[in-house]
Amino acid sequence: MIKKVLIANRGEIAVRIVRACAEMGIRSVAIYTEPDRYALHVKRADEAYSLGDDPLAGYLDPRRIVNMALETGCDAIHPGYGFLSENAEFARLCEQQGIAFIGPKSDVIHKMGDKTQARDSMRAAGVPITPGSEGNLADVNEALKLADDIGYPIMIKATSGGGGRGIRRCDTPQELKLQYPRVISEATKAFGSAEVFMEKCIVDPRHIEVQVLADSQGNVVHLYERDCSIQRRNQKLIEIAPSPQLTPEQRLYIGNLAVKAAAAVGYENAGTVEFLLTGNQVYFMEMNTRVQVEHTITEQITGVDIVREQLRIASGLPLSYRQEDISYRGYALQFRINAEDPKNDFLPSFGRISHYYAPGGPGVRVDTAIYTGYEIPPYYDSMCLKLVVWALTWEEVIARGQRALDDMRLHGIKTTANYYQQIVDHPEFQEANFNTSFVPNHPELLSYSDKRHPSEIALAVAAAIAAHAGW
């Protein structure tokens, strides 16, 4: 069994991993840069080591992190999500040094991280993919010819892309000529590769993803699906498990497709297979070779501790569950509470949290690394916390989500919480009648009132009195 894990990440996912390690009797090692010196993951881990002053360089240096793991006696590294979590070279360095990388093998990360190779693998496995290029595009002329063949609209995508970046929709040849060099530029800057490919744009689909677990003995299971259709500019905002929009037949079909996809590439550890649905047609989109931000809602409906399973799998142990052992109960919602101002084009709102009160009560879970007095640094993702609610029925989980959002108090910065209240109040959301166009089709939801809650006014008065009294 793994005995000591270096966590190559920060924020709430690092805290989540620390907690899983503590429950399993595994020592945890945090790493941090100077802006994170007082971060919660640093406080909660068994040991913590500085990466220096630069806010990003240390978190993105595979060789330095592997060397630090060796120096501190770690036998495993958990990459979390983001940063180096889908970096094949990082996984390869771990393999070369005899350190367990808590994720799939480096060759699988490379294969599934390259979107054209992933499409080829799925095509060979009989998993349906969207019409598009069979490899990387040579130039804009090839792109124009292919677009004419498959029909507009089309999507130009970075081969090594992710996180909603390096993607452009084109509805006409003129747009394609304009956007093609922009995608190449963005791909080169963000991912270090100028390679791009083309897919048919599936208009207004539902975005459905399936959580899978696979061990080194060849066992693969799915933990049902999540609906990620509530998104803005390809960034997920609210996630749901299971999807309230699927029939039992669709659920079975998509779950089996995900297992087939993972088995076809010899996958190990936790991963997510993402699909687009339009009517009854299902298309493979991509595979995320890591734990996902929204793993929480799958844990809530299945009772499976996904991070615990990751640690077990990386230790060489078999899965704790067979497919027939896994069922789901109720519904769960996850709200990504971001430090952003929705009324100002979602501009980041970094700064000091003057007061934070976490919502609670039955069926409420909060994954976060913030606290009152914490200074949100401007160098990282804007997510403050993940508010997760669970209930037996769709109607009950919506009501619980409304109540939990209203319970939460987070002062000192702007957040997306009030905007999410408008979404869950909307009749289309409550009727489970939505797709990826829901957010752009409802700009009126941004017209909510910014009227201050009585508790906010009371806190402001208390702070003013304290300051005046010199407390």
**Parallel/antiparallel/unpaired status of strands 47-50 and 27-32:** parallel
User: Which pLDDT belongs to residue 464?
Assistant: 53
Per-residue pLDDT in tens (0 to 9) along the chain, 471 residues: 999 999 999 999 999 999 999 999 999 999 999 999 999 999 999 999 999 999 999 999 999 999 999 999 999 999 999 999 999 999 999 999 999 999 999 999 999 998 889 999 999 999 999 999 988 999 999 999 999 999 999 999 998 876 677 899 999 999 999 999 999 999 898 888 899 999 999 999 999 999 999 999 999 999 999 999 999 998 999 999 999 999 999 999 999 999 999 999 999 999 999 999 999 999 999 999 999 999 999 999 999 999 999 999 999 999 999 999 999 999 999 999 999 999 999 999 999 999 999 999 999 999 999 999 999 999 999 999 999 999 999 999 999 999 999 999 999 999 999 999 999 999 999 999 999 999 999 999 999 987 655 555 555 555 555 555 555
C-alpha 406, offset from chain centre: 24
Choose among 165, 205, 171: nearest CA to 189. Answer: 165
Q: Is 269 helix (H, G, I), strand (E, B) or coil?
A: strand
Assigned domain for 159 exists: yes
User: Which pLDDT belongs to residue 161?
Assistant: 74
Assigned domain for 403 exists: yes
Assigned domain for 458 exists: no
User: Which pLDDT belongs to residue 92?
Assistant: 98
Rounded to 5°, the CA angle 7-273-443 comes to 95
Q: In sequence order, what are the residues at sequence separation of 6 or more whose Cβ sits closer than 8 angstroms to the Cβ of residue 455? A: 409
Assigned domain for 212 exists: yes
CATH code of residue 438: 3.30.470.20
C-alpha 141, offset from chain centre: 35
Say which of 206, 290, 365, 400 is annotated catalytic: 290
CA 378 – CA 469 distance, rounded (Å): 32
DSSP assignment, residue 445? G
Same domain? 284 vs 432: yes
CA 64 – CA 83 distance, rounded (Å): 14
pLDDT digits (tens, 9 = 90+) for 144-162: 999 999 999 999 999 887 6
Assigned domain for 266 exists: yes
Q: For 99-194, where are the alpha helices, taking DSSP H only? A: 106-113, 115-125, 140-150, 173-191
Same domain? 301 vs 421: yes
Choose among 305, 237, 252, 269: nearest CA to 16. Answer: 305
Helix (H) or strand (E) holding 21: helix 11-23
C-alpha 18, offset from chain centre: 18
What's the pTM value of the predicted model, to 2 decimals?
A: 0.92
Same domain? 145 vs 163: yes
Same domain? 25 vs 146: no
Q: Is 255 helix (H, G, I), strand (E, B) or coil?
A: helix
Domain range holding 53?
A: 4-85
C-beta separation of 436 from 237 below 8 A: no
What letters, b where the CB count within 10 A reaches 16 and e where it falls short, cover 324-362?
A: eebebebbbbbbbbbbbbbeeebebbeeebebbebbeee
Assigned domain for 60 exists: yes
Same domain? 272 vs 300: yes
Number of domains in the chain: 3
Residue with tokens 């990620």: 228
User: Which pLDDT belongs to residue 189?
Assistant: 87
User: Which pLDDT belongs to residue 54?
Assistant: 97
**Range list of β-strands (E), 201-246:** 206-214, 220-232, 235-241
DSSP assignment, residue 285? E
Same domain? 266 vs 280: yes
Residue with tokens 């496995």: 125
Give residue 328's identity as a one-letter amino acid code.
Y
If one counts every other C-beta atom within 10 angstroms of the C-beta of residue 248, the result is: 7
C-beta separation of 208 from 225 below 8 A: yes
| Alpha-carbon dihedral sign for residues 446, 292, 130, 430 | negative
CATH code of residue 167: 3.30.1490.20
403 carries an active-site annotation: no
Same domain? 282 vs 324: yes
Choose among 367, 262, 284: nearest CA to 44. Answer: 367
Helix (H) or strand (E) holding 52: none
Residue with tokens 């993105």: 60
C-beta separation of 41 from 18 below 8 A: yes
Same domain? 210 vs 192: no
Same domain? 146 vs 259: no
Residue that finishes a domain, picked among 200, 233, 256: 200
Helix (H) or strand (E) holding 277: strand 269-278
Radius of gyration from C-alpha coordinates of the chain: 22
